[in-house]
Structures are given as structure tokens and as C-alpha cells.
Amino acid sequence: MPIIQTPIKDLVIYEPKVFHDDRGYFFESYNKQSFEKELGYSINFVQDNQARSVKNVLRGLHFQNHPQGQTKLIRVLEGTIWDVAVDLRNGSETFGQWFGVELSAENKRQLLVPIGFAHGYAVLSATAEVFYKCDAFYNKELEGGLLYNDETVKVDWKLNINEAIVSEKDKVQPILAAVKCNF
């Protein structure tokens, strides 16, 4: 299985093998047995989410605390995004560090974001349709966030941050030093 380890432990990119012919293409976007074999642990996805956004929309950085922390598997059905995860795991050697990867309908890459990371993305194309699997149900009382433009984290969103379209909720998230998480 084509799993690519990122510089941050446990944060991985899945690059599926795509079969092309004169009819189009086919690929396996998710296979529980293959993921378990490659990763060495089981993920029980229970919820799928889908969002459509226009160019320069910036969503994030979001997470869900225990006891319902979420692992997410993100992919793009249409367009291109810059997908970002920030390590919020207490005691991690990479705490506060971020990793970004371009996900697109064309490259078919997916990012597996484990529990303990804040996640967000910026839309680089005219529109983007994003689909992601979660291994825990959404729980409003446990949701948390990190300010997308925190100066200590310094995420490069691959867009002009002054042109970013950001929700009011995301504009008032705490900086890293004030984030309340239990990972």
C-alpha cells in the first residue's frame, strides 16, 4: 500500500495506485484491511463529511478533544487544496509543528490526520469539493481550534492571507499557547 510517512510521526499521506485505460480510471480510495496492515492499527470510520468551497476559503484549524478525538482521512473530489495538520500532542517531539500537502482531484492523494492534530485547508482552485472520513462522531462540546494565523506556528497557507475567506469562528480561535486540548 502506498503510504508515505511525513516528517511528523503518525501523520501519513496515502497515494493510491490509479488504473487508467481508455474508459477513464479506477482506484481504491479506502480499504480497511490494507490500512490496518500498513499502519499496524485499526481505524473504525463512522462518519463521512463533504464540503464545497470557493477559491481562497480557509477552513481550520480544528480538532475534537477526548473522549471523542477524531482521526480523519481527507481527500479532494474536485479542485485543489493545501491541506495542513498541526501537532498538538503533549510530549510530542514535533508539538506545535505543522505539515502541509497539496491534495487534488488530479493527484488523488489523501492525508491521514490522527487524533491529536489540528486540521485545516485552503482552497487553491476556483472551487474544491473535499471529502473526509472520521472515526468518531462530531461532538460540539468537545470541539476545539487553533488560530489559523498564529505567529508561533507560522503555517504557510499557499495563498495571500489577506485575501483568505475565513469564518468568524475561525478568526477567534486561541493561539497555540492558549489552546485547550487533552491529547
Look up cell 491534495; give the residue: 103
**Angstrom distances, CA of residue 54 to CA of 19, 31, 144:** 29, 30, 24
Helices and strands (H and E) in the chain: how many? 2, 14
Burial of residue 97 (CB within 10 Å: 0-12, 13-18, 19+) is middle
User: Do 111 and 118 contact (CB within 8 A), yes or no?
Assistant: no
Supply the DSSP string of 49-80, one letter for each residue: EEEEEETTEEEEEEEE-TTS---EEEEEEESE
Residues forming the active site: 62, 132
